[in-house]
Structure 1
């Protein structure tokens, strides 16, 4: 009798434990489903609100007969190269915050300006790929700017060739997050102090985050690359030749790097021979590093002036300058770490140079004033 009661109690206990286990499993499953539902709801709330990225434009055709399309839909047909490119840009997603691209698959010319500035006006979050085609600034005046932007962000231009006599080949002012790559120019000077290759400045708003990369080869014109008031920049290797001013000119720009500046006959085609292959001016700096200056037959090789400070040039190879190979004038905390200078007039000069040093030709020069 006692054994029978024990068996009944045992089986009842097993049954109770089993039911409890089963109930626990059901509860865990329900909790898991609830968690999954909560995650799904949370993901719904976190869906991206980015606008744009779905449209792309292109410009095709032939000289005098251009076609602009966006996602295959024709937006422009006509003879104006600038208008065709502009139409493609204007018909991308309005108010986008994701970059969309226009590819220009044909070369063209600016044509007449009608007496007003004529340019392709970049929009924010826009990339412009010229696919190695040429924009010819042939207006006969100083009013053509192939690519222009004012107070825009996240803009990019690449694979562009420029010929003729532009006011500037590319001009970005008051912009942020700019990328320029693979640019070739063979340009003239439409009038004194114009005909620049690439200019980026803060004339309308604070300007920051500039990247210039790839193959940059600019022949003729005024300054090949000029910045004014840029905070944060990375300029890669630059080749500049046969122009009226500098290879690379940095004004009031800080926190940046420059690769190798290769200059031939910089500042030799105009009336002024005092510009340089690489020049820092107008309170440029601090925190600027240039990897190398290679200069042949230019006005100067490296020139730092007008309160510029905090620039380091890792090495130089400068020869046959019209005047000084290196001139540090009213500069501070500026250093040339190594290299050679030959056939300068003189090779090196310091003039009101504070905490500066020039180490070339096996010698180190640190005097505030001196000629070597």
Structure 2
């Protein structure tokens, strides 16, 4: 797959997003507040009452493929789920507060095509804030989650995979688990994932291929855990034919404090990371463990945990690793020696690497 260009991807994403949330004439709108909400489609009222979730679902159910719902009201859906079916455009212009429904998303779109969520503001403590599987041509725009626990965006492991997923800017604060976790996506582009005070990973890619990400930016992410601001695991980047030709492109990873900065593990790879800016990570600044065809092409590591290449015995050793970095205030260690490891290091950090 040819590398996505930042400009082309950004333009493609912008084209799916309205100029302003609720702008123009949505096909349906949800308004109100407190204990009184109204869902209107055109000139018809499709819901009137005290149940915010029911108003939103009624508005969604009233429109057809290619039509748009704008939720202007703020409210709470409790421990319940909003479901979006194929072809529908959902804008959360108000603040949607959510509860925890075990194993479910507060908002879900499952086994669907051409769903768009150009805008969403969510608060609360969901099991999953957004949950997807089996999607085709899904587009997420400016998603803001100011959470008190739970997991932000999840693509399921044990259901059908997804293709051609696009995200613009995903901002997640306060998730107890991951900000964004993917499984089984073929064709993924993300402009930015911004994670603040998140319990596990900022962006976790698993069994995902043909991907481009502009920026992963984490501050106080994965403190005290084995996760990382940016983590690849479970055969991420392995192509359908089993090889690890480069197909995952990350423009930049920024990480401050927290746990690991970057972690590649469990037979993942096929990745180029153009630039890193890592400082004071509480665990390994970078850990590459049983990964193949991994290239970090520049950037800095200042303080924090060591830069480490390691391997577990149950998987084949690291192979075809290229690391170009300035490392200061921490160490660089390769143990055991990988197969075709290539280091280009500067900075004052101590080094214990294989010849």
Q: Same fold (TM over 0.5)?
A: yes
Runs of 4+, deviation exceeding 4 Å: 141-144, 362-367, 369-372
* Residues 336, 238 of structure 1: alpha-carbon distance in 2 compared, 3 angstrom cutoff: same
Kindly indicate whether the alpha-carbon contact (under 8 Å) linking 1:110 and 1:144 is maintained by their aligned counterparts in 2: no
Deviations 1:35-68 (A, max 9, x none): xxxxxxxxxxxxxxxxxxx981111111221101
* Residues 143, 203 of structure 1: alpha-carbon distance in 2 compared, 3 angstrom cutoff: closer
**Does 1:256 pair with 2:221?**
no
How big is the shift at 1:206? Answer: 2.9
Kindly indicate whether the alpha-carbon contact (under 8 Å) linking 2:119 and 2:141 is maintained by their aligned counterparts in 1: yes
Secondary structure at 1:106's aligned position in 2?
coil
Query: Match for 1:281 among 219, 233, 254?
Result: 233
How big is the shift at 1:348? Answer: 3.5
Kindly indicate whether the alpha-carbon contact (under 8 Å) linking 2:104 and 2:131 is maintained by their aligned counterparts in 1: no
Residues in 1 aligned to 2:333 and 2:210: alpha-carbon distance in whole angstroms: 26
Deviations 1:117-152 (A, max 9, x none): x21100100000112x1111146x657733101101
Query: Match for 1:359 among 321, 324, 327?
Result: 324
5+ unaligned residues in a row in structure 1: which ranges? 1-53, 190-194
TM-score by length of 1: 0.76
> Could you tell me which residue of structure 1 aligns to residue 40 of structure 2?
69
> Could you tell me which residue of structure 2 aligns to residue 18 of structure 1?
none
Point out the structure with max Rg over C-alpha.
1
Pick the structure with more strand per residue: 2
Residues in 2 aligned to 1:340 and 1:318: alpha-carbon distance in whole angstroms: 6
5+ unaligned residues in a row in structure 2: which ranges? 1-24, 239-246, 312-316, 340-350
Secondary structure at 2:57's aligned position in 1?
helix
Residues in 2 aligned to 1:144 and 1:159: alpha-carbon distance in whole angstroms: 21
TM-score by length of 2: 0.79
Secondary structure at 2:85's aligned position in 1?
coil
Pick the structure with more helix per residue: 1
How big is the shift at 1:298? Answer: 2.1
How big is the shift at 1:359? Answer: 1.2
How big is the shift at 1:289? Answer: 0.6
**Does 1:107 pair with 2:74?**
yes
How big is the shift at 1:345? Answer: 2.3
> Could you tell me which residue of structure 2 aligns to residue 220 of structure 1?
174
Residues in 1 aligned to 2:116 and 2:69: alpha-carbon distance in whole angstroms: 10
How big is the shift at 1:186? Answer: 1.2
> Could you tell me which residue of structure 2 aligns to residue 244 of structure 1?
199
Q: CA RMSD in A?
A: 2.2
